[in-house]
Amino acid sequence: MPPLETGETILYTVRKHWFILAGEIAFLVLLAAAPGLFLFAPYLIPAELVSFLKDFVHFEGSFSLLIVFLWFLLLLLLWIVFMVFWTDYYLDVWLITNHRVIDIEQKGLFSRSVSTFRFDQIQDVTAEVPGVLATLIDFGTVKIRTASNETFDFRGVARPNFVKEKIMSEHHRVHT
């Protein structure tokens, strides 16, 4: 986080909605559970496919042990992907202070972009809530356009209309 100026206080911290992370986790859970079909539901797999895999791999011993080993490798990989998703979720943040907006965007594990802009640079703030599900659980995109025609987008933000109103109220406070 960049250092705050003298007299600057953080008014609101904006993060992505929990539903964004939950969707990514649900995808990972499905990928993690898929190999279990090979172990616990052998009747779902055609016998020709099983015999082809046994001939193709040339595995001595139980074919189930190979599947378990590969499953654990997949689980390790999925755990790493989960940590990347969680890191991105947790470290992507907008800080709304009484002087400016600080946009901290995590890109992968080892790259971060920090942008700041003062309220007097803001030309327009837009909140978009796309679709029924986004409306029901209240998430969307907040877009801020600055005087230099740069646009800052924060996708998947929780309570986008509230965030827009918070930014606009500080913008009006600075201009009065």
Alpha carbon 62 to its chain's center: 40
Average pLDDT, the chain: 85
Q: How would residue 3 be classed by pLDDT, with cut points 50, 70 and 90?
A: confident
For 163, other C-beta atoms within 10 Å of its C-beta total: 22
Residue indicated by tokens 């378990």: 68
Q: What is the pLDDT of residue 26?
A: 95
Is residue 121 helix, strand or coil? Answer: helix
CB-neighbour burial class of residue 38 (10 A; exposed 0-12, middle 13-18, buried 19+): buried
Report yes or no: 129 and 160 within 8 Å, Cβ to Cβ.
yes
Q: For residue range 92-118, what is the model confidence (pLDDT) as tens digits? A: 998 999 888 898 988 878 888 898 888
User: Domain 10-176 carries which CATH code?
Assistant: 2.30.29.30
Q: What pLDDT was estimated at residue 1?
A: 66
CA–CA gap between residue 6 and residue 176 (Å, rounded): 21
Question: Beta-carbon neighbour count of residue 95 at 10 Å?
Answer: 20
Query: Phi and psi for 114 in degrees, rounded to 5?
Result: -120, 120
Question: Which residues lie closer than 8 Å to 22 by C-beta, 6 or more apart?
Answer: none
143 pLDDT band, cuts 50/70/90, is very high
Name the residue ranges covered by the structural domains of the chain.
10-176
pLDDT band at 4 (very low <50, low <70, confident <90, very high): confident
Q: What strands, in cross-sheet order, belong to the sheet with 151-158?
A: 122-128, 139-146, 151-158
pLDDT at 176 over 80: no
Predicted pLDDT of residue 174: 79
pLDDT tens, position by position, 27-75: 999 999 887 766 665 566 676 766 766 666 565 666 667 777 888 999 9
pLDDT bracket for residue 125 (50, 70, 90): very high
Rounded CA separation 107/88 (Å): 7
